[in-house]
Amino acid sequence: MKNPLLSIIVPVYNVEPYLVDCLESIINQSFEDFELILIDDGSTDYSGHIIDNYAIKDKRIVVIHQKNQGLSGARNAGLDLAKGEYITFVDSDDKIQEDTYKKNMEVLLKDFNIDALQFPTSGFFDNTKIVYNKIFVGESDVFTNWWEGNILNFSMCNKIFHNKIFSNIRYPIGHVFEDYFLVVELSNIIKKIYISNKGCYFYRVREGSISSGVYSLNKNLDLFTAQFNIYKKLYSYEHLRPSRLRAFSRVYRRLLTTKLAYPDSNLTISLRELKQYIPLFSDIKLSKDRNEYIWILCVKTLGLSTFMYLFCFYLKTKNKLFKSG
């Protein structure tokens, strides 16, 4: 049989209330040349039965039942089976706007040099869609816009990739922010990415999902590691020197937030790694933001650990005075 043009990979784990809505939005797309790979990642609710029933009715659907391996493990299982020339991902509590794949596959089939395409996203209760119509070409251009996260965002679900991109790439197991961890690897490979204004990916923020809730210590450190990997890659580009301060602030503030939330946490290893990438004085002078200039100058002068201690002590004392007043 002819291989499908598009492989749609959907990890499924305990999403019974939202699953039918997600699946209906996919199988009713006007674009029909796809395979839908559903990975039941050890669900304990009725999710596994729902996808089995859909597979009986639609021959385009492939179902896998496996022990729980997390989102990365489920996506990797789908990638191992994918036969499509293009690959996309959908989270099983989200849904896709009608005609999204048809309109965007038309763009891809007109230009085979496009390695990846990003289409708009929107919340279920947010009617505002920020759309762009741009093309980024070359490793430097792709990475520059990806790390900034303004136009080229970090989500992998609102993108369609050529299958060659995932020939030697798989999602890292054991991480919460798996999409962040792939940015460096993907930016090394993707030479041309198209920012489409066609279609829409509707994402749902719900209680109990990975993206919601209080950040645990491990979740904070996982985000730090992901952001730090991107920050280190930024040092490869001389034209991004003016951005180093903003990138450093993003990474170091994650550690400050972690220490404030978990005062007894030992951040020695993370601080030691980040110490090697404190902006140079020549980088600091490039800052046009006076407040940014002053605070990073203080960090560099005092050192990461000392500044963290004094900053946390100051906030703790300030909060005590506020409560007593």
First to last CA, the chain: 75
Specify the CATH number of the domain 6-203.
Answer: 3.90.550.10
Where the chain has pLDDT below 50, the residues are 125, 128
At residue 43, the pLDDT reads 97
CA dist., res. 194 & res. 171, Å (int)? 22
pTM of the model: 0.89
Judge whether 200 and 120 are in contact, CB under 8 Å: yes
At residue 292, the pLDDT reads 85
The predicted-structure confidence for 244-301, as pLDDT tens digits, reads as follows: 888 899 999 999 999 999 999 999 999 999 999 998 888 888 888 888 889 889 999 9
Judge whether 277 and 235 are in contact, CB under 8 Å: yes
At residue 195, the pLDDT reads 94
Judge whether 6 and 160 are in contact, CB under 8 Å: yes
At residue 97, the pLDDT reads 95
Beta-bridge mates of residue 62: 37
Of the candidates 119, 120, 138, 118, the one whose C-alpha atom is nearest the C-alpha of residue 192 is: 138
Judge whether 62 and 167 are in contact, CB under 8 Å: no
At residue 214, the pLDDT reads 78
At residue 135, the pLDDT reads 86
Judge whether 10 and 89 are in contact, CB under 8 Å: yes
CA dist., res. 10 & res. 92, Å (int)? 6
Structure token digits, residue 164: 């060659």
At residue 208, the pLDDT reads 53
